Amino acid sequence: MIGTPTGSDAGLLSPVWAGTPVHAATSDDAWLGAMLEVEVALARVQARLGVIPASAVPVIESVARPERFDLGELAVQAREAANPVVPLVSTLTSLVAAENPAAADHVHRGCTSQDVLDTATMLVARRALAELESCLDRCAVALASLAEQHRETPTAGRTLTQHAVPTTFGLKAAGWLAGVGEARRRVHRLRTQGLPVSIGGAGGTAAAYAAYAREATGTDLVAELVEATAAELGLAVQVLPWHTQRVPLADLGWVLSIVAGTLGKFAVDVQVLCRTEVGEAVEPGPAGRGASSAMPQKRNPVLSTLIVAAARQVAPAAGVLAQCMLAEDERPAGAWHAEWQPLRDGLRAAGGAAHTAAELAEGLTVFPDRMLENLHRTGGAIVAERVNVALAPALGKARAKQVLARIAAEAAAGHGAFDELLAAAPELRESNADDLSEAAVRELLTPQNYLGAASLFVQRALDEYGPPA
């Protein structure tokens, strides 16, 4: 026996989006409200076109309110039709009939379930993306500030977990900024141009819409209906029905994946910087945030942890949406139905990650002194690339590399610091080259003198993705 669900999805197991704006924007209430908006919009447009009597619209508007519907009952009744629109339309029609029996004939006129739910999904997505875009804007402003403030702050560049060459924290922040900026552009384009209304009727020909219009006006009015409904709801105009051409949903999944991946990259970098042995950054938060239930000394990087957890969930959800493009015939059995929950999961995870990333970026504290300490931890080995370039003219490229590899190995084995071993290397003394004097070698081993075009790249990122001056 199936009972009526109770309670609500509060996000107990998904704290990244719990209580955030995207939570409300993607709730069952939000989807119900969006479906009712679609039904009302169709009635308004059809009345303006003369397809249904104008007197029916106020009655439909007055009862098409979410509080008049029992979500739990609708969810259970949806099992009998494999979608929630059928019981919703049945209930809506009954409510209208109780107010005005004649108006009930004009509910859902010429429509099909997929038209309503697809269009409602576009409304839900648009609102969720608006919240997401706002959070990305906040994140970008904060990251731009970090990049500008620390454009000359030296830090260790790391590749494959190890020190590689010196860089600046400003360039690291500029990289985060560029990712967020590109993600935001994709969200904006999709939100403003890529979410179409869905009007196709039972089999993608809009035949019933046209038949009702011809009966009332003498012409089918389908093009007019599509354009007017899109305008009424603030959605894009479809080129043709897309019941089994699921690019809009796949596009949503792809953009959400870009957002999640970009924010996840930011978060995993922060996690590295927050490691005890690195200690170059700390997350914001009130007293008690990041506490461990067992270890009183811990201050866990919870914001970045939430972001990483969310980011890992979005790509699989987007993968389901991509697979659902394999939708047979003119209306599919299962492919359409498989989209709904993964899309909501993706919107929630990406939206929650963006909300959390904005807080993280706005409050991230970094420690330049610790960065400098770590930069010198290897005794100059972090600039071995630069030393190799300087030694090559005197020793030859191959021999210079061999010498530095030997010195690095000796330093790693604990036989001395890299800079001391280099200064004592007989090959340098034998070369008699002025540019390999003790003073020259000391300058070569100064990490701050080997930052390449870091400052230039920071400025390019600020020019391209930073807030207007």
| Active-site annotation, residues | 292, 331
Q: What CA–CA distance (Å, rounded) separates 259 from 346? A: 10
Give the C-alpha distances (Å, rounded to integers) separating 449 from 159, 160, 323, 348: 20, 23, 51, 45
Residue count of the chain, please give it.
469
Residue with tokens 């790693």: 412
Q: What CA–CA distance (Å, rounded) separates 460 from 438? A: 37
Which tokens sit at 324?
Answer: 């659902």
Which tokens sit at 163?
Answer: 């020190």
DSSP sequence for 409-462: HHHHTTSS-HHHHHHT-HHHHHH--GGGSHHHHHHHT-GGG--TTHHHHHHHHH
Of the candidates 149, 135, 367, 153, the one whose C-alpha atom is nearest the C-alpha of residue 263 is: 135
Q: What CA–CA distance (Å, rounded) separates 383 from 385? A: 5
Of the candidates 467, 468, 469, the one whose C-alpha atom is nearest the C-alpha of residue 142 is: 467
Each as own residue / partner, the long-range contacts of residues 98-104 (CB below 8 Å, 24 or more positions apart, any chain) are: 99/59, 99/62, 99/63, 100/55, 100/56, 100/59, 102/53, 102/56, 103/53, 103/55, 103/56, 103/59, 103/60
Q: Within 10 A of 69 (CB to CB), how many other CB atoms are there?
A: 21
Of the candidates 112, 153, 159, 78, the one whose C-alpha atom is nearest the C-alpha of residue 370 is: 153
Q: What CA–CA distance (Å, rounded) separates 66 from 81? A: 20
Q: What is the DSSP letter of 159?
A: E
DSSP sequence for 2-18: PPPP-S----TT-TTTT
Q: What CA–CA distance (Å, rounded) separates 206 from 110? A: 8
Q: What CA–CA distance (Å, rounded) separates 238 from 118? A: 12
Q: What CA–CA distance (Å, rounded) separates 92 from 61? A: 10
Helix or strand or coil: residue 466?
coil
Which tokens sit at 355?
Answer: 């909300």
